[in-house]
Chains A and B, each alone.
Chain A
């Protein structure tokens, strides 16, 4: 079955880059997503990438996809305290409900 794995915690210093990693099992995944959830808030879509892409950049966010290894990463440049949140990786096969990982809690130290 589908499964998405993430490391649970990441701590970085303000101004450094953060890299959050995710692995997925379903090679049929068509779209992969990154969501952000701040305490007490809903899920905010940050970005997504098609499975036929290797990289996508959007301002401070860079998504890298290694389809052979089924590995997805989210790099946040110049990490700020406002980036402290839980980041969820999710995948779908194009027309199916999303399958989420358990989330990575990012703590930014000032």
Chain B
């Protein structure tokens, strides 16, 4: 148990639809990260939060991607007008004492 849950675990959507994923840390963590993993690749950093402040968002893949962490606890990642190239695993992670990241199980997105 890495202390973070993600919902949903799987999402199938049609191209052009909006999707939202949620990440819930079990306990308080200041730093929360979002990564994307495509087939045959390692995770790729998207954005991260220090409490409710989004510290880095230039690596979000396009302006269709946005993330929030309104109360410094759970976080959401939204993709608007999904494209087939958005199909991937979206991973949430919490930061440990040595900057190690503890990953949730991920949300697998399939865009048809």
User: Residues of B within 8 Å of A, CB-based: how many?
Assistant: 22
- Mask for A83-98, Cβ within 8 A of B = 1, else 0? 0000010101011111
Q: Does A24 contact B (CB under 8 A)?
A: no
- Restricting to A69-110, which residues have a CB under 8 Å from any CB of B? 88, 90, 92, 94-103
Q: Are the CB atoms of A41 and B42 closer together than 8 Å?
A: no
Main secondary structure of the interface of A (DSSP, over half): strand
- Distance, CA A48 to CA B42, complexed state (A): 17
Q: Does B65 contact A (CB under 8 A)?
A: no
- List chain B residues, Cβ under 8 A from A98: 43, 45, 99, 101
Contacts A42-B103, A97-B59, A103-B42 supplied; 8 other A-B pairs, CB < 8 Å: A35-B103, A41-B105, A42-B106, A45-B103, A48-B100, A99-B45, A100-B43, A103-B40
Residue numbers of B with Cβ under 8 A of A are 2, 33, 35, 40-45, 48, 56, 59, 91, 98-106
